[in-house]
């Protein structure tokens, strides 16, 4: 496990534990000077909070936010 991977794990934990985000399903990958975050958050405000929490911790690295906001499309239907 590289030092980048350790940092990625610490950042994922921060996203779960910081009450502004509190999302456990986000993936953070650190590659040199880039920090890439992906996964789904509940609303646009939570997406902004992801960026806030990470910016506090990544120093001068470039943050790439690939998170999605949970969809509000038509309800999918299932037959049981």
Partner 1 sequence: MSVRIAAVGDIHVGTSGTDLGELWSSLDAHADLLLLAGDLTKCGTVEEAEVVARALAGVRVPVVGVLGNHDVHTGHGAAVAAVLEQAGATMLEGAGCTIDVAGTRVGVAGVKGFGGGFPGSSCADFGEPEMKAFVHAARSSAAALAGALAQLDADVLVALMHYAPCRGTLVGEPEGIHAFLGCYQLGEAVDGAGADLAVHGHAHAGSRRGATEGGVPTFNVARPVLAAPYTVLTVDPKRCGGRRDEAVTQ
| Contact residues: partner 1, CB under 8 A | 19, 22-23, 25, 39-40, 42-46, 68, 70-80
The residue (of 19 and 60) whose beta carbon lies closer to partner 1 is 19
State in angstroms the smallest separation of the CB of 79 from partner 1. 5
State in angstroms the smallest separation of the CB of 33 from partner 1. 26
User: What is the C-alpha to C-alpha distance for residues 49 and 18, in angstroms, rounded to an integer?
Assistant: 9
The alpha carbon dihedral of 78, 67, 12, 54 has a sign of negative
State in angstroms the smallest separation of the CB of 60 from partner 1. 30
What are the tokens at 51?
Answer: 């960026």
**For 19, which DSSP code?**
T
């Amino acid at each position: 496990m590289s030092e980048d991977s350790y940092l990625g794990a610490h950042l994922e934990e921060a996203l779960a534990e910081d009450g502004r985000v509190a999302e456990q399903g986000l993936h953070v990958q650190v590659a040199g000077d880039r920090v890439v975050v992906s996964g789904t958050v509940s609303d646009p405000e939570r997406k902004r909070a992801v960026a806030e929490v990470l910016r506090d911790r990544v120093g001068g690295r470039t943050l790439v936010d690939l998170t999605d906001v949970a969809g509000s499309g038509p309800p999918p239907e299932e037959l049981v």
